[in-house]
A and B are shown apart, each in its own frame.
Chain A
Amino acid sequence: MAQKPIREYDGKRLFKENWDKYFKGLNYPFESVLVKSGEELLKKAEEPGYEWLKQKPLVAKPDMLFGKRGKNDLVLFKVNKPGDVTLKDAAKWIDDKRSQKVRVYSKFEGDKPVDEGKEDYLTYFIVEPFTPHSEDEEYYIAAASLDENYDALYMSAHGGMEVEENWDKVTEVKIPIDATDEEIEKLIKENIPTDIPADKKEVYANFAVNFYKFFRDLNFAYLEINPVVIVGNDVYLLDLVARLDDTAGFLMKDKWGDIEFPTPFGMPEKSPEEKAIAEADSKSGASLKLTVLNPKGRIWTLVAGGGASVVYADTIADLAGGVEDLANYGEYSGGPTTDETRFYTETVLDLMTREKDPKGRDKILIIGGAIANFTDVAKTFTGIIQAFEKYADKMKDVGVRIYVRRGGPNYEKGLKDIKEAAERLGLPIKVFGPETHITDIVRMALEDDKKGAK
């Protein structure tokens, strides 16, 4: 639940679908396709409405939420000279680029990358017509949700790849979030960059005012077009970066359509277990979150509550001297049912018991949590106990020691039940209530290591 980046293609689609409401009088030829392969592109060219793919010179680039595509040499706009890319060239280039992992850098000094970059496969490409234009037709415009009181609109007569280097030529206009349409118009028109040519000023100003309203009304958190090319009444959005506030999804069903929030480039795809928990989370009124940090890690956590889960992770890193041993991060909260807790626990136990620690040490399971406000501890622990029953043998095989600390409604019964169950199943367990400091079980677990537990 936060600000989420969307694909360039989707950003442009949102412009097109809402164009007439905001940009009447201006034309935007939405000629864009999103494809995963050269073959898909060639097929697309046979569909009605996409004849331009065969008729016009093309530009192709990956559409995977990362910037600096030009500097990373990932924009195809020429074979021999700019504007000579045919459909066939584009299809071939796409297949070539997606065939192996690519390293993408996000920081450059001049043309030299200065960060370590991220490596991943390229899987999505946007293909558009090549738009011949001169550099002085390239403008810059962006809007951002700045802070609790203001949005910001950024305008410049100098768009293109070097905008960051030319940031001093960008005009920032702070717009109060509750400004009326008249105030917005006045603020923007008063601040149009002076170096925008006189004959373009009016059309740029109108575009800017409506660009901001579009940004605001569609609940963007960030929206940047660089460059935007304006020729007469024709507008070309050549490159676009956008983030939406996904909490507004319920308001934006009609305006956003079927929007996708993709996993960013270079991020490991979610594991099947993480996906299963995310799926269960989306169907539940409670909250279930799981991130596997290191599947071979030795310390696994099963923590109730968002704040508590952070505190446990912090403490493990602090007391274990790093995160090498920390296997997962996650939490369950908001009063999950017994079944949901059982499923969550089984998923964690399954991951935890797949192999023994390579150094032959015990594994540690931290069942932690703060003092709950309304979650019934006994009820959630019943789910954990059911999972124990299923995984007890495997847990014994890999050598799991369990440390429990929890408080809240019905905690006495929950703690008693889990202790009895673990003892009955022959699993080593230590159980504590609110009289013990929340993270002290982490200290105990690590000290037990030293005391000779393996």
Chain B
Amino acid sequence: MANELFTRDTQAIFWNNNKSAIQRMLDYDYVIQREKPSVAAIVAPTSNNKFEKFFYGTDEVMIPIYRSTAEAVKNHPNADVLLNFASFRTAYDVTNEALDMDQFRVIMITAEGIPERLARLMNKKAREKAVTIIGPATVGAIAPGAFKVANIGGTIENIVKSKLHRPGSAGLVTRSGGLFNELSNIIALNADGIAEGVAIGGDRFVGSTFIDHMLRMEKNPKIKYMILLGEVGGREEYKIIEAIKEGKITKPVIGWCIGTIAKHFSSGVQFGHAGASANAEAETAEAKNRAMKEAGIHVPDNFNDLPHVIRGVYEELKGKGIIQDIEEPVVPPMPEDYNKALAAGKIRKPRNFVCTISDDRGEEAVYAGIPISQVATPDTGYSIGDVISLLWFKKRYPKWATNFIETVIKTVADHGPAVSGAHNAKVTARAGKSVVESLVTGLLTIGPRFGGAIDGAAKYFKYAHDNGMSPKEFLAYMKKQGIPIPGIGHRIKSVRNPDKRVEGLKKYAAEYFPATPLLEYALEVEKETTSKKENLILNVDGTIGILMVDMWRALGYSEEEINEFIESGTLNAFFILGRSIGFIGHVLDEKRLGMPMYRHPWDDILYQVEKAEEIK
């Protein structure tokens, strides 16, 4: 155990609910067929969830979430690795706290840019407690076939291609995480893969360095040779040279320091990581490569030749019988991720819903194909009537029609507190309910008796007109049906005291509608009804319903389409939309007034309660 960073039993606590990284760990677990998931628990201080689900193959497993490291540690005493994915602002505190818990053997820190003083303090404390810190600023480490930290190795496909799913013979140490993957790939292509690998991180002060890991690898019998990818800056590579000279490292080492380019530029250009800056001749990549070569390390002439050197060392060790052939394990097929497969066009499924009016999937949500920003502000020329025509009818209506729609909305917006809907809304608001609850109690009264005349008028007048009934025949027909004509009649208004709202609508239609055949017909009907009774005038509901039909006819809709609008309650919708404005006004009014709960007075109720008859 002491010779290996991780085993197949190693479990980690993952600090931060980084779902994709954790999923990748579980995918890895599945590919190598681990018994226990490599992530025992997640710490997420602001989470309200008790667990998070992850795929294990095609199945799903639940991983507990805790709000503090202490809680996670208490519940998972065997998890001895902390994967610290906190940001650079909190990574120090998380590590520092974890070090005090004396449970973690390895702490990996991904954040880049932890203040140097804090990084040094944290690293020192870890060394004193014999805890191995990997990072900061790293993708971590991997023990192929046993345990993988977060995103190291990349996608599961790449991991298998790079033979990171089963142990090989090389030990690999790098600074950079991107090049770690690359080296794993090179080693898989030219040798038999790695047995353990660590990316130590790019910051100036990292918790564990090449020498810490290479001394451990020296003692790990699975590792037959080591590959070191260093960088310009720092003196860590010299510690390896010293260890070789002192006989502490005896296995073959292949080494290369990147950043030889730096010698061509006097100063100022920062090549690579924060730690990658040579402060002295000995810290240049050139000098380190030279020194490594002199110490017997296998050093290529340039990076492009590295694969050949690796192949050479591998073949030699194989020739000597130090490295044996590896029997490749069976890799269970990895189920493809649904979203990925969908994006790649590999799978399909029938949709349960259809939407033809708007789309929120692109850069900006669209109303019937037009981005919201192109309809929202006044300078776009779009009014609320245009928005209604787009979202309700998927067309942009001409100005006279959208102005008419807005006229209707404004006309029906409110009719005082006494009508049933407004009354309901007020009573509900006074019962302490929210705006939406109060609003819907008002809206729920809209129907055949309240607000329904718009629908009814359109329906019956259109029916009569379509069937060529004379006004007299229409009256007779309605009488026979036993229905009062919707849209006819007003409580107080009459021929001599006309409804100004109706006057306005008629005037607008006369001026702007191309034609108003149904209105003309309705006015003929009104002549008949008012001749019987003064107040049997065409009222505002009737006028709106009838003019809507005229509007659609003028816009070129077929009679069938208009009938469909009427049947589906489209006319009612104008009333619902408009009157919501009024209802909300009443609800807000109640909230403002702070009136108490309403209780209807007894004296306004006729109580006539008899004792219930008993049925035997």
Binding site for B on A (CB under 8 A): 1-3, 145, 148-149, 176-178, 216, 219, 221, 245, 247-248, 250-251, 264, 267, 291, 293, 304-311, 313-319, 322-323, 326, 329, 333, 369-374, 407-409, 413, 434-435, 437-440, 442-443
- Interface CB pairs A-B, < 8 A, 12: A177-B121, A221-B116, A264-B268, A267-B268, A310-B276, A315-B303, A317-B261, A329-B261, A369-B178, A370-B181, A374-B151, A434-B161
Contacts of A443 in B (CB 8 A): 304
- B86-101 Cβ-contact flags toward A at 8 Å (1 or 0): 0011000000000000
Interface readout for B558-590 with A: 1 if CB under 8 Å, 0 if not? 000000000000000000000000000000000
User: Would B116 and A310 count as touching, CB distance under 8 A?
Assistant: no
- List the A side residues contacting B272 at CB < 8 Å: 306-307, 309-310
Whether B303 pairs with A314 at a CB distance below 8 angstroms is yes
- Asked whether, in the complex, the Cβ of A306 is within 8 Å of the Cβ of B303, the reply is no
Closest chain-B Cβ to A285's Cβ sits at a distance in Å of: 11
Q: Which residue of A lies closest to B92 (CB)?
A: A251
Q: In the assembled complex, how far is the CB of residue A308 from the closest CB belonging to chain B, in whole angstroms?
A: 5
Within residues 97 to 144 of chain B, which ones have a CB less than 8 A from any CB in chain A? 112-118, 120-121, 123-125, 139
Nearest 3 interchain pairs by C-beta: A307-B176, A305-B178, A248-B115
Inter-chain contact A250/B89, CB cutoff 8 Å: yes
- Cα–Cα, bound, A248→B124 (Å): 18
Question: Which A residues touch B270, using CB under 8 A?
Answer: 2
CA distance A442 to B305 in the complex (A): 12
Q: Across the interface, which residues of B come within 8 angstroms of A438, CB to CB? A: 182, 186
Q: Which residue of A251, A322, A333, A442 contacts B178 across the interface (Cβ within 8 Å)?
A: A333
For B202, what are the chain A residues with a Cβ–Cβ distance below 8 Å?
Answer: 306
> Nearest chain-B residue to A309 (Cβ)?
B272
Task: Give the shortest distance, in Å, between B54 (CB) and chain A (any CB).
Answer: 17
CB < 8 Å neighbour of B117 from A177, A319, A407: A177
List of A residues within 8 angstroms of B268 by Cβ? 264, 267
Q: Which of B175, B186, B204, B269 contacts A291 (CB 8 A)?
A: B269
User: Contacts A219-B115, A314-B258, A371-B181 known; A2 to B124 CB distance under 8 Å?
Assistant: no
**In the bound complex, CA of A388 to CA of B512 (Å):** 53
B161-212 interface (Cβ within 8 A of A)? 161-162, 174-179, 181-182, 185-186, 189, 202, 204-205
With a cutoff of 8 Å between Cβ atoms, the chain A residues found around residue B112 in the complex are 1
> Across the interface, do B261 and A310 meet the contact criterion of CB distance under 8 Å?
yes
Cβ of B277 within 8 Å of any chain A Cβ, yes or no, is yes
Q: Are A310 and B304 in contact, CB atoms less than 8 angstroms apart?
A: no
Q: Is there contact, CB below 8 Å, between A245 and B302?
A: no
CB of B189 within 8 A of CB of A373, answer no
Q: Name the CB-closest residue of B to A333.
A: B178
* Nearest-Cβ distance from residue A381 to partner chain B, whole angstroms: 15
Q: Is B552 an interface residue (CB 8 A)?
A: no
| B258 engages A371 (CB within 8 Å) | no
Is the C-beta of B152 less than 8 angstroms from some C-beta in chain A?
yes
- Determine how close the nearest CB of chain B comes to the CB of A105; give it in whole angstroms: 14
Shortest Cβ distance from residue B121 to the other chain A in the assembled complex, whole angstroms? 6
- Contact partner, B303, options A178, A371, A408, A439, Cβ 8 Å: A439
| Shortest Cβ distance from residue A64 to the other chain B in the assembled complex, whole angstroms | 14
Cβ-defined contact, A314 with B154, below 8 A: no
Indicate if B280 sits at the interface (CB-CB under 8 A): no
- In chain B, positions 237-287 with a C-beta closer than 8 Å to chain A are 258-261, 264-265, 267-274, 276-277, 285
Chain A residues whose CB sits within 8 angstroms of the CB of B302 once the complex forms: 314-315, 318-319
Complex contact B274–A1 (CB within 8 A): yes
Which B residues lie at the A interface, using CB under 8 A? 20, 88-89, 112-118, 120-121, 123-125, 139, 151-155, 158, 161-162, 174-179, 181-182, 185-186, 189, 202, 204-205, 231-232, 258-261, 264-265, 267-274, 276-277, 285, 301-304, 307, 344
The distance in angstroms between the C-alpha atoms of A329 and B231, with both chains bound, is 16
Q: A145-B116, A439-B304 are in contact. Are A307 and B179 (CB under 8 A)?
A: yes
Query: CA–CA, A269 to B271, complex, Å?
Result: 18
Contact A435 B179 (CB under 8 A): no
For residue B469, give the distance in angstroms from its CB to the closest CB of chain A. Answer: 64
Q: Which residues of B contact A435 (CB under 8 A)?
A: 189
A247 and B115 contact, Cβ closer than 8 Å, known pairs A293-B265, A314-B261, A329-B269 = yes
> Contact: A437 with B186, CB < 8 Å?
yes
For A329, list chain B residues within 8 Å (CB): 261, 269, 271
Cα separation A435 to B162 with both chains bound (whole Å): 10
Contacts of B307 in A (CB 8 A): 437
> Across the interface, which residues of A come within 8 angstroms of B204, CB to CB?
2
Docked complex Cα distance between A306 and B270 (Å): 11
Let me know if A148 and B115 touch, CB within 8 A. Answer: no
- A310–B259 touching, CB < 8 Å: yes
For the complex with contacts A2-B204, A145-B116, A310-B276, 7 further pairs of A-B residues with Cβ separation under 8 Å are: A178-B124, A245-B116, A310-B259, A310-B261, A319-B304, A329-B269, A443-B304
Complex: how many Å from CA A437 to CA B544? 75
Give CA–CA (A98, B114) in the complex, Å: 39
Asked if B182 contacts A371 (CB within 8 A), the reply is yes
Q: Complex Cα distance A439/B120, Å?
A: 35
Cα(A316)–Cα(B261), bound, Å: 9
Q: With a CB–CB cut-off of 8 A, which chain B residues contact A251?
A: 115
Name A263's closest neighbour in chain B (CB-CB): B268
Q: In the assembly, what is the distance between CA of A374 and CA of B151, in Å?
A: 7
A28 CA to B152 CA, complexed, in Å: 53
- Of chain B, the residue at the smallest CB distance from A221 is B116
A residues near B258, Cβ cutoff 8 Å: 307, 310-311, 314
Q: How far, in whole Å, are A323 and B261 apart by their CA atoms in the complex?
A: 8
The answer, among B20, B158, B179, B259, for a CB contact under 8 Å with A408, is: B158
> Which residue from A248, A413, A439 sits with its C-beta under 8 Å from B344?
A413
Complex CA–CA separation, A442 to B175 (angstroms) = 23
| Pairwise interchain contact B124-A373, C-beta atoms closer than 8 A | no
Closest chain A CB from B87 CB (angstroms): 10
Q: For A177, A251, A264, A307, which residue has the most chain B Cβ atoms within 10 angstroms?
A: A307
The contact of A374 among B20, B118, B185, B232, by CB within 8 Å, is B20
B302 and chain A: residue at smallest CB distance: A318
Contacts of B155 in A (CB 8 A): 408-409
- Which of A1, A245, A250 counts the most B-chain CB atoms under 10 A from its CB? A1
The distance from the CB of B108 to the nearest CB of chain A, in whole angstroms, is 14
- Name the B residues within 8 Å of A316 (CB-CB): 261
A372-B125 in contact (CB<8A): no
Complex Cα–Cα for A313 and B232 (A): 13
In the complex formed, the residue of B with least CB distance to A437 is: B307
Contact present for B182 and A370 (CB under 8 Å): yes
Chain A residues whose C-beta falls within 8 Å of the C-beta of B151 in the assembled complex: 373-374
With A306-B273, A373-B152 as known contacts, state yes or no: A178 contacts B179, CB within 8 Å.
no
Q: Nearest Cβ in chain B — how far from A369, in angstroms?
A: 8
| Cβ-defined contact, A313 with B261, below 8 A | yes
Cα distance A313–B116 in the bound complex, in angstroms: 28
A308 vs B229: C-alpha distance in the bound complex, in angstroms?
Answer: 12
Residues A315 and B304 in contact, CB atoms below 8 Å apart: yes
Report how far A204 CA is from B115 CA in the complex, Å.
30
User: Which residue of A is nearest B268, CB measured?
Assistant: A267
Evaluate contact between A318 and B304: CB separation under 8 angstroms. Answer: yes
B188 to chain A, nearest CB (A): 10
A219 to B264 alpha-carbon distance, docked (Å)? 32
CA distance A247 to B205 in the complex (A): 12
For residue A389, give the distance in angstroms from its CB to the closest CB of chain B: 18
Shortest distance in angstroms between B300's beta carbon and chain A's nearest beta carbon?
Answer: 10
Q: How far is the CA of A247 from the CA of B274 in the complex (A)?
A: 11
A216–B303 Cα distance when bound, in Å, is 40
- Indicate which residue in B88, B120, B273, B277 contacts A149 across the interface (CB closer than 8 Å): B120
* A residues less than 8 Å from B162 (CB atoms): 371
Chain A residue with the shortest CB-CB distance to B188:
A434
Determine the residue in chain B with the shortest Cβ distance to A372: B154
Report how far A251 CA is from B89 CA in the complex, Å.
8
Closest residue of chain A to B150 (Cβ to Cβ) is A373
The answer to whether A219 and B158 have CB atoms under 8 Å apart is no
Q: Do B304 and A440 touch (CB < 8 A)?
A: yes
Please report the C-alpha to C-alpha distance between residue A221 and residue B119 in the assembled complex, in whole angstroms.
Answer: 13
Q: How far is the CA of A245 from the CA of B117 in the complex (A)?
A: 9
A221 surroundings in chain B (CB, below 8 A): 116
